[in-house]
Every structure is written in C-alpha cells, then in structure tokens.
Chains A and B, each alone.
Chain A
Amino acid sequence: MSRAETTVRQENPRARSPLWTLGLLRSELTTTFRRWRTLALLAVLAAVPVLIGIAVKIETGDGSPAGGGGGGDGAGPAFLTQITNNGLFLVFAALAATLPVFLPMAVGVVAGDAVAGEANAGTLRYLLVAPAGRTRLLLAKFTSTMVFCLVATLVVAVSALVTGALLFPLGEVTTISGTRIGFGDGLVRAVLIAAVVAASLVGLAAIGLFVSTLTNSGVAAMATTVGLLITVQILDTVPQLDAIHPYLFTHHWLSFTDLLREPLYWDEVLDNLGLQALYAAVFGSAAWARFTTKDITA
C-alpha cells in the first residue's frame, strides 16, 4: 500500500513538467507546419527529386547511359549515373542536389522567422504572457526548427524513393567502393544518410535562430540567414582561405556520401556532426543570451 502511494506521489510532479514543455512544443510545431509557407516549401522540396527522376528517365529513354554519355568525367550531381540501375540512388542524388541550396534555404526561412516573425506579427508578447519563460520558449522554437530540418530531409528522401521506385528498377545496391549490398541494407543506409543530412542543417538552424532574435523583421532575419549561407559557401570555394575551411559549417556537408562506401568511412561524417554541435552550442547560447535579455516591444 504505502509503496504504491509513494510512487504515485513521486510520479505526479515529474509527469507534469515534461508534458507542459511538450505542450508548448506541440503548439510551436502545429503553428510551424500549418503555415502555408511551410507547406509550400515542403512541396518544392518534394518536387526536386521528381524532376530529377523524370529528367534522367527521359534522357536515358533511348538506352544511353546518364551523365553526359561519353563525357564520363563525373560532372553534374553525384550518383546521377547510377539512378538508371537502381532507383534507390535517386534518394542519394536528390539529397546531394538539395543539400547545398534548397534544404538550407528552407531551414533558413523557418529558423529566421521563428522569433522575428512573431515579433513582426506582434504575437511574441502574447506568447510570453504564458508562464513558460523565455528560455523554454526558445528551446521549443529551436526544437521545432530541428524537427523541420528532419521533416524537410525526409520529404526529399521519401519523395525520391517513391519516384525512384516508380521509374527505375530496385534491387541490390552497388556502393561507391564497387561492392554490393542488399536492398534492405541499402535502405538502412538511406535512412542513416537522411539522418546525417538533417543533422548537417542543425548549425544553420542555430545561426538562423540567433539572427532571428536580433531583429523584429522576419524578412530581414530570413534574408540574413540565407545570405550568410551563400557567403559561407562562397568562402568554402576560395582556395586561399584553405585554413578556415574546416571550420565553415557547410564544409563537410557532402561528407554524407562517405556512408555509401564499403566499409563505412566515418571520419568526415563525425567531423561534420561535431562541427554542427559546436555551431548549435555557440549560436544557440548566443540566441539565448539575446532573447532572454531583449526588450520585447512588439
């Protein structure tokens, strides 16, 4: 008897607080994903693999290999030559094609809008009226942005998988090392790669959130975030700046392709994840410092 009583007593206060946090998060998620803008972004992302798939199908309709026929220099997006042999490669090709521009742009829009958009619309102060606290609100915003990263990546991956399955044969997967793995194994790798791609966007999401706390204009925050992204990507291509390249958050983005080697090659992937965690820590705490001390006037 007494034991049962104590467990009940202990459980109650514990159970309440995480549920409360989840409530805030849930409302954040619904506001994010119910926006027409978010849905439009996801629709554009879903369209990219479909376009790639159809283009490859049309180009190779006469039996010629993809990737510019005789050129064979590996130009164009990665894995393009493999799509006709295995539809699963459309997933990898689509992720490689969307990761540099489309995915981070979508994340930049959502992250940049997270706080500044509310401030712009005059709804931020009402959010803060609820006894949740600014830190918790910021955490909920950050978490919902990360959920968006994951959802956006999965939308691309699933759309690519469906398109690939409809247009091309599926079957054993040839890794880029030339060895073969089963289709199930290939699917596992696709899921792993999608997770790594989503995690690659975390650094940018943190930067976007920080920028978002600096201004009251949602558009300015989005533009700054996307502008920063483009600047960093340009810096990453300048050979004279070799020394700083390993610390740019976009530098290791395409390292997810290392997961298609046999055996797996983790070095760069782990570099990437560590770097993203670092950016998330620095800009997340900067966003926290700014947001918790800022005068909310709108």
Chain B
Amino acid sequence: MAPNDSAQTTDGNFAAGRRKAARYIVPVAVAGVAAATIGLVPALADSGDPDLPKITAQQLVEKMAASDTQQLSGNVKISTDLGIPSLGGIADSLAPRGGDEGSSADPQARLMELASGTHTLRVAADGPDKQRVSVLGDAAEYSLIHNGGEVWAYDSASNEAFHTKAPAEAKGSGKDSGKHEKLPEGVPTTPKGLAEEALKAADDTTSVTVDGTTQVAGRDAYQLLVEPKQSGSTIGSVRVAVDAENGVPLKFTLTPSSGGKAAIDVGFTKVDFGKPSADTFTFTPPKGAKVTEGDDGPKAREKDFGKDFKGEEGLKDFEGLNVIGKGWTSVAEISSPGGEAGAGSEAPEAGDVPPQAQQFMDALGDKVSGEFGSGTVFETRLVNALMTDDGKVYVGAVTKDALVRAADAAK
C-alpha cells in the first residue's frame, strides 16, 4: 500500500512510477468531466426549439395585445451595452444622489444604473394595483413597490426609503390596457413594456415577422422579429419572445446593425404566472430608515424616466426641437443650445464649454464636414450625435452617414 515499500527495490521503481502517474488521472479526470459538463450541459439542455403550430405575425401581435395575464412573478435579467464606457459614472454626475438633493432611494437616480451593465431584477405583479420591482445588488437590494395608491422605494444599502402617491390615472388605465406590470413611473424594465415600445413604432417603415420558436425561462415561445426596412438605422433588429400560451413577452433583444453583442437584452430567467403572495406588496419603512417624501408629482418623474431610456422622447423637452425624417431614421435637430443638457442626451452643447473641454470632446468624437459645414460626431452603439460648429445638435439612432445627410438636408 505504502509506496515506500515498493520503492525500495529497483525493479519496483518503474511499476511504482506508473502507479503514481495513474493516481493523478483521478483529479485530472474530475476536472475534465467538470469542464465538459460546464461546456456541454447548456448545449444538451438546449434541446432544440419547441415545435409549435405556425402563426402569422399579425396573430402573434394580437395574442400579445389580448393577453390578460394579471399575475406573475419571476426574475428578469437586463444586459445593456450601449457602447458608453460606464454610464454609471455619467449618471452619478448628472443626477447627484445622496446629498442634499434627495435620498439615495429616489427612483430617478437609481433606475439610471440599469442603463449600463448587467442587472438581475425580481418582478412581481398582481393586477393593475400591485406591482413590485427589485434590483438585486451586491448584499443590497433596491425595491420599488406599488400597492394601491402608495409607491414606495427602498434602498437597503443605505436604509433609506422614498415615498410618493401613485397617480390616480395609473390605477384606472392599467386595467383597460392590461399593462399589468407597468409601474406608474413608466419604466419599461419588463419585457412587456419594451415590446410595447417597439411595436408602437411599427408602421410601413418596419417589417414584423415571426422568426421561429424558442424557449425562455423554461416556457415555449414564439419569436417576433422586428426589423427596420429603411437603411441607415443603427438598430439592426428587435426580437421579442412571446409566450406561446398566454402571449406575455418573455424576452426582448435589441441588436445594433453594426452586429456584435445585443445592445439591450431583457428577459425572464424564471417566471411563474401564479398569484404572488400578498405580503410581497406590503411595505412599511423599517425602523431607523430615513424616509423621503416625493415632493414633485409622479407625472413629472414619468417624463424623466422616458428620457433615460428613450433618448429621442426625452429630447422633446428641449426648445427648438425639430424632427427630421420619420420612422427608424428620424433625427432630432436641436437648434437652441439654451436648454440644460438633459440626462438622456449624450452630447453636451458646444456654446458654453471651456476650450480644454472642447479639446477633450474633440478627442472623443470624429470630425466630419459636409454641406452643413463641419462638426463633431459622437458615436455609441445605438445613438449617434452630430454637433455642428455653429451650435446645432443632431441626435438619432442612425449611422454617421445618415446623420450627416440629415444635417445636409436641414441646411
């Protein structure tokens, strides 16, 4: 048993050496099997796309619209890669939190964090009056709870809570439109909210097709493929996985036309259409928590949220705003740099920047020139902005060339 014995003799040396080597096969085999399992199990578990009856795009959209699922709970994973180094830092500088301005539990500041990186959310909904969204952080959680007329936000890391009254119409309209999981703040964090946004834009500029079937969170789903017919858009395609049974959108993927990783990917990783327990939606501020009452109405905030997630919509707040083109390739033209730079716009106005900052910004963007004159283009994976030297800003989800064309046309 002990190699000491066999190693004594010269004859035994070779055999003992072989036996020694043989034992090391065990850990190597264990590691190998583990590596193979990690590599193969996802491939094997992906047992092909489910076999579902054929359906047209029209029927599928109707199915979604007719969906009256009011109760669900589950986990949602959000990955965003907008090609901005770290929006977290930008968000911090644009929307200061924690200081005198407000509580760290203020939803306005916190939800901007979702615009970059990967986050896990827990959602639960029970009818139009009760919803809950929690962002799971490291050893902390940020929860938004809507229950009847009350909206609470709670940040466990700083033990701060934020309280406001829900807008009256959110209660009523929720029932009619079946927007069961739409928070009064209007944050499209769930697949359904985002799918509605994408379909709203669907007209003759858009092709909507059913692109096979898939499985999301263990449920069979149809894939709705939405593609722009126009060229020049930075948006390549939008895919929405729709539950085959009840028409609830389960996954939303936005791929930029430049290819690569999805720019926005929101999907359920676990979903349950049973009734969530009632105490999921009850919230009383814990002992010692600092509670901030929301001072401005939730409606104002609603606008701001839209701005965070849909740059173009937010830009409507700007004065002198002019939309060029239509559909996917519409470009917003902002002529007066008087307005304060909003949280949603990537390009600050040229007018009041010191020369050093101007230099720095030139380094970030590309110089372009055309009939409109010359300017600087700032590119992200989805939204591009052209800042002309005479102070106009063109922003749109279009390529650099399309942006220049729009600027030329506007001249």
Contacts and interface: CB of A to CB of B under 8 A. Distances in A.
Interface of A: 65, 67, 70-74, 78-79, 81-82, 84-86, 96, 128, 133-134, 171, 174, 176-180, 254, 257-258, 261, 265, 267, 278, 281-283, 285-286, 288-290, 292-296
Nearest to A173: B286
B140 interface: yes
A289 B23 contact: yes
Contact of A289 (B16, B24, B122, B138): B24
A261 B145 contact: no
Interface stretch (B150-158, B170-178, B195-203, B375-383): B150-158
A37 to B, nearest CB: 29
A281 to B, nearest CB: 5
A293 B3 contact: yes
Interface string B264-284: 000000000000000110111
B4 interface: yes
A176 B140 contact: yes
Nearest to B98: A72
Contact of B27 (A70, A72, A267, A283): A283
Interface of B: 1-4, 7, 16, 19-20, 23-24, 26-27, 30-31, 34, 75, 97-99, 103-104, 122, 134, 136, 138-141, 143, 145, 152, 154-161, 279-280, 282-284, 286-288, 290
A265 B122 contact: yes
Contacts of B160: 72
B230 to A, nearest CB: 35
Contacts of B31: 282
Most buried by A among B19, B75, B141: B141
Nearest to B16: A293
10 contacts: A65-B159, A71-B98, A73-B97, A73-B104, A78-B140, A177-B134, A178-B154, A178-B286, A179-B279, A292-B23
B171 to A, nearest CB: 22
B156 A70 contact: no
B2 A289 contact: no
Contacts of B279: 179
Given A65-B288, A281-B30, A296-B4, 7 more contacts: A73-B157, A81-B157, A176-B140, A177-B143, A178-B154, A257-B138, A289-B23
A73 B3 contact: no
Contacts of A295: 3-4, 7
Contacts of A86: 287
A174 B2 CA distance: 57
Nearest to B154: A178
Contacts of A177: 134, 141, 143, 156
A171 B290 CA distance: 19
The B interface is mostly helix, strand or loop, or mixed, namely mixed
A70 B99 contact: yes
B26 A288 contact: yes
Contact of B139 (A133, A254, A281, A294): A254
A134 B251 CA distance: 54
Contact of A70 (B24, B98, B157): B98
Contacts of B143: 177-178
B288 A85 contact: yes
Contacts of B140: 74, 78, 176, 257
A68 to B, nearest CB: 9
A174 B139 contact: no
A117 to B, nearest CB: 20
B156 A134 contact: no
A134 B2 contact: yes
A35 to B, nearest CB: 27
A141 B141 CA distance: 40
A178 B134 CA distance: 10
Nearest to A246: B38
Contacts of A288: 23, 26-27
A179 B154 CA distance: 10
A128 B141 CA distance: 53
Contacts of A81: 157-159, 288
Given A81-B158, A180-B284, A285 B26 contact: yes
Contacts of A79: 139
Contacts of A171: 287
Contact of A179 (B2, B104, B282): B282
Nearest to B7: A295
Contacts of A133: 1
Contacts of A180: 284, 286
Contact of B158 (A73, A286, A290): A73
Nearest to A96: B139
A286 B28 CA distance: 8
Contact of A74 (B23, B158, B288): B158
A67 B160 CA distance: 12
A72 B158 contact: yes
B287 A174 contact: yes
B20 to A, nearest CB: 4
Nearest to A210: B27
Across the A-B interface, give the 6 residue pairs with the lowest CB-CB distance, nearest first: A74-B157, A78-B139, A174-B286, A286-B27, A289-B23, A176-B156
A73 B279 CA distance: 28
